[in-house]
Structures are given as structure tokens and as C-alpha cells.
Structure 1
Amino acid sequence: MRLTVKVLNGDECTIAASPSSYVTDIKQQVAALMSIPIANQKLLYKGKPMTDNKQLSEYNIEGGSKLTVVARPGSASSADSVSKTVSSDTDVSAPVWTKLQTFLRRHYTEKDADLVLAEFRKDFNKGLASMSLDDIERLAASKIRGTGER
């Protein structure tokens, strides 16, 4: 089933889950897709807090339901800040993630495809967050020279 997860600041994403999924599974997907550390997340359903070790079926959550994430302030590193900025830039990255998701769903179950995509996004954001501005500038310059554009 598909669930919408909305952060109080307005960002939202759609995730795949099953009634037997645990709240911690949802938090892991939110961490990967929205770069909010699991320790800083508090999930709410219909305004009521959810417990990590409970399954979604215990809350009578059905497909199409909306969950709310309260992102508690925490010890977010600068790498987390960069990752959050990158993942929230949906205008540029959304087509890439959508195409990758479409490709993965041709070869895997919906649940597995979404898990692979979440891990890929997490690895991508970690790699980008570990790059310095000089690294990014060198990469951009080499790609511009490689395509013949200036």
C-alpha cells in the first residue's frame, strides 16, 4: 500500500509499506528519502504518536493514509544539512528518481524496488555530502569540457 508522509514544514513523500510493516520501517524510509535522522523523527497518525515496535495494522492504517513526521531538532551534522538540501531539490532530481523507480519496478517487487531506491538515494546523498565545493567544481568542469559546452 502507498502512504503519504508529510513533514510539518510542508515537505512530503510517498512510500510503500504493508500492514505488517513496523513504524521503524517507515522511519527508515523517511530517513532515506527526506534525510531526517531516525532519532529525530516522531511519527503521528491522526494526531496520535506512533510507537516504533508496533505494526501499521495495529493503527488500522490503510493505503492512501497520511502520516505526519515531526522532525525534532537534534545534532544534525553539516553532511545531514547538505543531504537534506539535495534531496529537497525535487525540480532537478525528481525525474531521475522517478525513472530509476520505474526501471527497478520492472525487475523487482514494488516493495523491494522502493527499498533499493531508498538505499540508492541514501548512498547518493552521503557521497554528495562528503564532497567539498572544490570537488564539485572539478566534477562540473570536467563534465562541461566533456560535452563541449562552456
Structure 2
Amino acid sequence: MFLTVKLLLGRRCSLKVTGKESVATLKKLVSERLHVPEEQQHLLFRGQLLADDKCLSDYCIGPNASINVIMWPLEKAEQDKARQPQPLWSQLGRILAKHFRPQDAKVVLQLLRQRHEERVQRVSLEALEQLACYLLAEQQPVGQAGEKEFQAADSELQQQEGGGE
């Protein structure tokens, strides 16, 4: 079967693989074709992060599927492994515990997590790509065209959030 592998900023390639291939093998192929080191790759399919030790068939990846590649800078990947920050939800739980009774804090935290997950599921990869392009362009002088792209991406995100509530 053929898969399309796409980097966030538009480079893409087609790879011939079988469903029994491991994600680690796919990363190796991506590394060869797109020149992105394997340790910098995070592969996503339908918003789900693919684990290296799983097979493509474990994620029901079929012919003509599209896999997205998120690249992490090498030094950032090493820093993240060395320094594991406290997860956001445990930090937020401690903050809520200071302001609510324990039972109430737990309920509020569960509600926040549920709403967060719902909103994340509604965000399209296209909107994320537009936002990433804007943020990368922001490092350079941003013209009005960049502002319009950001406003379009922001508007799309707001429409998606407003549509489900």
C-alpha cells in the first residue's frame, strides 16, 4: 500500500509499506526520504500519536492514508527527556485544591479535561498548520498578509469551538 507522509510545512512524499510494518520502520523510511532524523519525528494519524513499537495495522492505517510528521528540534527532544515537567493536569489539580473542597476540585478538573479534549478533537490539522506558519513567520517581520492568515486560522478555530457548544 502507499501512504502519503506530510511535514507540517508542506513537504511530502509517498512511501510503499505493508500494514505489518512498524512505526519505527516508517520513521526510518521518512528519515531517508525527507531527511528528518528519526529521533525528531512524531508521527500522527487522525490526531493520534503513533508509538514506535506498534504496527501500522494496529492503528487501522490503510492504503492511501495520510500521516503527518511533527518535528521536534533535537536539543529540545533531549531536554524534554532529561527534564520531565509535571503534567499540566496535576499542576492544575493542585491549584484547584487550594480554592475548592477536594470533591469539588476533582469535579472541576474532570470538567476542564473533558472540555479540553472536545475542543482539541474539533481543531483541524489545516488550522494548526496555518497557525504554525503564522507563528514561524512572526519570527520575521510580519506583513499584513501574515496577519490575515492568522486571523483566518483564528476565525476557523473560533467557529469550530462555537459550533459544538
- The TM-score with structure 1 as length reference comes to 0.49
Highest CA radius of gyration, 1 or 2? Answer: 2
Q: Which has the higher contact order (CA 8 A, sep 6+)?
A: 1
- The TM-score with structure 2 as length reference comes to 0.45
